[in-house]
Amino acid sequence: MDRAFLEQLGLDVTEADGVVEAELVLQGGQALNPLTRKVIDRVTFTIMGDRLLYVGPPEFVGAQPINLAYLSPSSRLEDLITQTLTDHLFQLERRTNELTALGFSPRVDPSTLQLTAEVEKQPLKFTIGASRTGQFRILRTINAGVELTNAAQNVFELSEFFDKRALEDFLFALFSDVVATPEEPAQVGSATIHSSPSNLVVASSAQSLPFKELFDAFGDALLPPRSPLEVVADVNVGGQRLRFAAARVQGSTFRGMLAGPSGKIWADRFELDEFPGIKGFISELMGVPYDDIEVC
């Protein structure tokens, strides 16, 4: 990036050991940390290609980079920076309220303005955090006192979860393969309504309701756009007992999971109109002949 252009934007540019950094002194006094009541008077960037990446102060680290390709020498860079902070504070308030409504106790670091919350389903404990744009991911996972490596980003949308238990079950399912399973699930009959796609606790047939009975009773009715719907089915695949579960997110979008005695096999979203049925899906996923799969 041309140094003269950066300086026209008001940036003080320095270079050392091949690393280009730029600093902007904020004149308007509009960038304020609401927790410390400190006015932020300067922002530091590193230059990568045609992007400005925030490296300081802590309130801005991790924010969306500024694309220089869309700026002109007359652009008000300070206005973009102030808007970045305003957008983050909006997401911070929104996500804090959502976590509180679900029954969690959110925390905001006064220095970094990082929003986090603790989620627990024994033996797993999670620390989740929101990005500057309000997107949640797992920051830390502890299994029976031992911290695990979060190899994947495990990003999720908080508004998909209707209650605290649903989020706890979802996070637990992501790491169920590292949690000891006390015993293989017993038979529970054909596809049934159950509590959560990631909850592998077996319900007796007296507690469960065959899905066919619901269809026979309400087959001509409509399901409202955001009404929760959860199903679970035991499946026999070549003598191995597996459990398929799915929970509606909204509309025709579902979260699904397939698990066996050793833990999770698959977990992801899917669209109802693209789903080939439980047997068809497992056949494609595991490369098993369709006729060798039995929904128990």
How far is it, in rounded angstroms, from Cα 246 to Cα 256?
4
**What burial class does residue 56 get, using C-beta atoms within 10 Å of its C-beta: 0-12 exposed, 13-18 middle, 19+ buried?**
middle
How far is it, in rounded angstroms, from Cα 31 to Cα 172?
39
| Number of C-beta neighbours around residue 157 at 10 A | 11
| Residue 237 contacts residue 247 (beta carbons within 8 Å) | no
Q: Where is pLDDT greater, at 98 or 180?
A: 98
Report the sign of the C-alpha dihedral through residues 233, 235, 240, 245, in that order.
negative
pLDDT band at 178 (very low <50, low <70, confident <90, very high): low
pLDDT tens-digit series, residues 75-130:
899 999 999 999 999 999 999 999 999 999 999 999 999 999 999 988 999 999 99
Q: Where is pLDDT greater, at 143 or 224?
A: 143
pLDDT for 54 equals 95
| Number of C-beta neighbours around residue 107 at 10 A | 15
pLDDT tens-digit series, residues 240-271:
888 888 877 777 888 888 887 766 788 888 88
Q: Where is pLDDT greater, at 51 or 216?
A: 51
β-bridge partners, 142: 125, 147
pLDDT for 181 equals 46
**Residue for token digits 């050392």?**
16
pLDDT tens-digit series, residues 13-37:
998 777 889 999 998 888 999 999 9
Q: Where is pLDDT greater, at 296 or 139?
A: 139
pLDDT tens-digit series, residues 181-219:
444 443 444 454 443 444 433 343 446 677 778 888 887
